[in-house]
């Protein structure tokens, strides 16, 4: 086996952040899907901007500020209690159905498996415990200790340092193209989990080593 460490992104890869649209439907009706999408888009944008500006704040700050923007964008006003419920919903996202079976296969194949996230480590553990995923992982590695977000190069070096593995024996697994490109640029191997058939990969000339539809397919591909 040529690799032995898998670093799995959390939001969008292990759990679906757009799942909050179901909670939103009871609050904002037909605007739920748009609000959820804008919320996620701005959450990531704010992490990128904070990284460039050296104005690090916990990822939960990016999430809360992005929700406030999304409200304004969609022309809705949530009560303080409703807003807090939505933020708490981010800690209660269910894993995609392929996640736990794939993690069991990765374990049988001998891979070390960690969650690798922009989120605060305590919040990531809480989230993954809620969905029953944490017990199938060997640990959680967060950018919080580095105080900059993906795709900054030093977060991937921090990952390698924590794992104790070289880049060519470490896979970054993510549904987020920016994460895959960041990992490849830092010398890791990377698999893009193309969960949506219509998803596009950024045309930077930096390609993933593997493209898979879900984690079960990745386990099959890595096992061959």
Residue 9: active-site member: yes
User: Order of strands across the sheet with 112-117?
Assistant: 139-142, 112-117, 5-8, 170-174, 189-193, 210-212
Q: Of 155, 152, 151, which is closest to residue 142 (Cα–Cα)?
A: 155
CB 105 within 8 A of CB 222: no
46 CB neighbour count, 10 Å cutoff: 21
CB 40 within 8 A of CB 59: no
Q: Quote the Cα angle for 116-44-76, to 5°.
A: 130
Cα–Cα distance measured from residue 65 to residue 187, given in angstroms and rounded to the nearest whole number? 33
Catalytic machinery residues: 9
């Amino acid at each position: 086996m040529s690799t032995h460490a898998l670093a799995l992104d959390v939001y969008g890869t292990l759990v679906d952040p757009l799942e909050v649209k179901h909670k939103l439907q009871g609050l904002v009706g037909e605007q739920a899907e748009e609000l959820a999408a804008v919320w996620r888009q701005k959450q990531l944008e704010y992490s990128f901007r904070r990284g460039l500006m050296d104005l690090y704040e916990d990822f939960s700050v990016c999430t809360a500020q992005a929700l406030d923007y999304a409200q304004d964008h969609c022309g809705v006003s949530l009560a303080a209690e409703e807003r807090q419920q939505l933020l708490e919903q981010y800690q209660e996202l269910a894993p995609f159905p392929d996640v736990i079976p794939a993690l069991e296969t990765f374990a049988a194949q001998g891979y070390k498996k960690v969650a690798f996230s922009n989120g605060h480590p305590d919040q990531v553990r809480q989230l993954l415990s809620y969905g029953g995923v944490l017990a199938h992982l060997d640990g959680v590695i967060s950018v919080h200790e580095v105080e900059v977000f993906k795709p900054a190069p030093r977060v991937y070096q921090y990952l390698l340092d924590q794992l104790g593995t070289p880049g060519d024996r470490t896979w970054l697994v993510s549904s987020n193209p920016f994460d895959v490109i960041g990992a490849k640029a830092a010398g890791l191997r990377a698999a893009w989990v193309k969960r949506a058939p219509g998803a596009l990969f950024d045309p930077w000339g930096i390609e993933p080593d593997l493209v898979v539809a879900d984690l079960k397919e990745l386990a099959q591909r890595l096992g061959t």
